[in-house]
Amino acid sequence: METSDKNAGAVNPEKILKEAHKVESGWILVGTVVALILIMVFTKPDPYQNMIVFMADGLWVTIYTTLISFSLVLVVGLIGGLGRISKNPIIRGIATVYVEVIRGIPLLVQLIFWYFAMPAILRDLGTTLNIESLANYKTNPLVMAIIGLTIAYGAYMSEVYRAGIQSIPKGQMEAARSLGMTYFQAMRYVILPQAFRVILPPIGNELITLLKDSSLVSVVAVADLTRRGREFTATNFNPIETYSMLALLYLVLTLLTARLVSYTERITKTER
């Protein structure tokens, strides 16, 4: 018995080396891509250096669009996930319809709807109700793009939350309720913290996917990285160089995001 206890608490050198190898390999790949970008910029300043300067503002638009959208997606997904497992048939029905409808419509179509159709609906509504602010509503491309991404990815995140919550044994909820906790207290302090650790990998995957899909906002007049790349190509007529650099920049962003997700997973595993 003592031997097994010692082995359970012992450090596994092979496991440490394997984890270190994964970390090193990931950062080597990031360094390789960054080095390739730097080589392209310094060996051929025209067009690559001019390209980086031209697309810099688009890079920041892509980053904060992704971060703001993902923060809202986490909230919308949590509400949708709780709605999907609600015992109230009306709430569960609304959440189910939301998830099924949104998942069945392509993201590009949703973004176009939010940018072109929704403002027209609001203006017509404002005219009908004699509300001047709505009747004269002017579309903000970035706001509409963030709303579109949030609504679309909130549906997918709802299913991630639902699966995570349902993976926790029912005895956890029963034990919490037996201690005098309300349903919401048990969910907040017992179920959700455990579920979050379970769903952390798919949440990270959704973040990476959202980062890549944020390139679709370029079709609704948002000056993100992709749109700035298209504008540079239209001006300089060099699609090979532009889209090669664009692909490398997105690759750096996704690889760095993947490293952040892996780091978060290792921390939560350590704390378990």
Say what the pLDDT of residue 12 is. Answer: 57
Taking Cα atoms as reference points, which of 272, 132, 266 lies closest to residue 201? 266
Say what the pLDDT of residue 46 is. Answer: 85
**What is the arithmetic mean of pLDDT over 169-186?**
88
**263 falls within a domain:** yes
**3 falls within a domain:** no
pLDDT tens digits for 183-205?
888 898 899 989 988 899 899 99
**140 falls within a domain:** yes
Question: Rounded distance, CA 177 to CA 206, Å?
Answer: 32
**68 falls within a domain:** yes
**12 falls within a domain:** no
**20 falls within a domain:** no
Alpha helices in 167-238 (DSSP H): 170-178, 183-186, 192-213, 225-236
Say what the pLDDT of residue 151 is. Answer: 96
pLDDT band at 14 (very low <50, low <70, confident <90, very high): low
pLDDT tens digits for 50-100?
999 999 999 999 999 999 999 999 999 999 999 999 989 999 999 999 999
Say if CB 197 and CB 266 are below 8 A apart: no
Question: Rounded distance, CA 176 to CA 183, Å?
Answer: 9
pLDDT band at 13 (very low <50, low <70, confident <90, very high): low
**178 falls within a domain:** yes
pLDDT tens digits for 111-149?
999 999 999 999 999 999 888 888 888 889 999 999 999
Give the structural domain span for 97.
30-271
pLDDT tens digits for 211-228?
999 999 999 989 999 999
**194 falls within a domain:** yes
Greatest CA separation found in the chain? 80
- Cα separations (Å) of 15 from 9, 147, 263, 268? 13, 43, 16, 16
Tell me the backbone φ, ψ of residue 174, rounded to 5 degrees.
Answer: -65, -40
Say what the pLDDT of residue 9 is. Answer: 47
Position 266 pLDDT exceeds 90: no
Question: Rounded distance, CA 58 to CA 37, Å?
Answer: 17
Say what the pLDDT of residue 252 is. Answer: 95
Question: Rounded distance, CA 264 to CA 213, Å?
Answer: 23
**What is the arithmetic mean of pLDDT over 1-15?**
49
CATH assignment of the domain containing 129? 1.10.3720.10
Number of domains into which the chain is organized? 1
